[in-house]
Structure 1
């Protein structure tokens, strides 16, 4: 999958979605945020990761220190600012090389890691905006399945979000995506593939993606211990 092309598209679709929307609209899936704050978060996030890369910053960067971190006051300028974010990230990666290791939440990783992270920040927050505005939300099954795997690797796996020995099987019904996860003392280990878990959850990729992100409950089939499903998603909030 071309994550950069997908990121450019998702940012553009986010911009189209919020054009002419009331920026004071509350975003229920991001408590305390308005649409204006959500918009700024998405656009600044691309620049934030780009600055970490281009400046070779070795620790967490305060978002208040991000260059050009606030959108212009005029609506057209603000929309252009949002759409420009992926290109700024791409240029930062090109400046040092995609395989050069840089700071991330979970230790040094190749610079191109940030593209996939920013992509699914955009897919998630576009859902937030759509839900806040009462608009439909669509995501291709393959992109949603990629989002599930990125969520597993970035959000669920580096922390003890499952109790030791607890196993979970995730299965998308409209792609070939299947994953097995097992809790350990300080993390969750996972692999692609089929297996039997204490909990199994299956359904369309987009619905499973949004449910894992605690955005909405979709048409999912749940087998086994449903308390694992509830507690796991709560412990894996990010």
Structure 2
């Protein structure tokens, strides 16, 4: 997957994200839950960030998505067409473009998450969505960090942290999610939002391991 437009680590987008939330009049509250309840908390948090009117609209949107027909197999082109006409993009909560090439992909900017960039590709019957976390060389105590990532993986539903080598040979931690290339459009949008939220949460959870210049 191409990432030539990816130049900043998730720490930058975390700062942008926090600033945007403050500008919306939102406040941060810490809660303690069982790990298996994390997906439920994510849904509740999203709902509580909206006004009562928006909550009602969100419910109606979900009802509509539930009756959407399954696409047989998504391609980059027809997925782009479907996403660009979905509410999240029509209302400018996110924007996207196609990056052409042998392995074409979608470059998605999640404006509600500090303009966090995501990359979506389709291959081998799978849709892969990923985001850059940090370069490997800015992580302190990498062995301890890797162990903590493995022990806390259930805190980030539908997402996995891995190491990937870029075209220039550098190693980076990434976070990604995978789903079937015949998934419902509503499930793909949910994956985009969940991955974005998990990137922000992972940056907060592991920031003590990251060397910030």
Interval containing the TM-score (normalised by the shorter chain): under 0.3
The structure with the largest strand share of the pair is 2
In the superposition, the TM-score normalised over structure 1's length comes to: 0.23
In the superposition, the TM-score normalised over structure 2's length comes to: 0.25
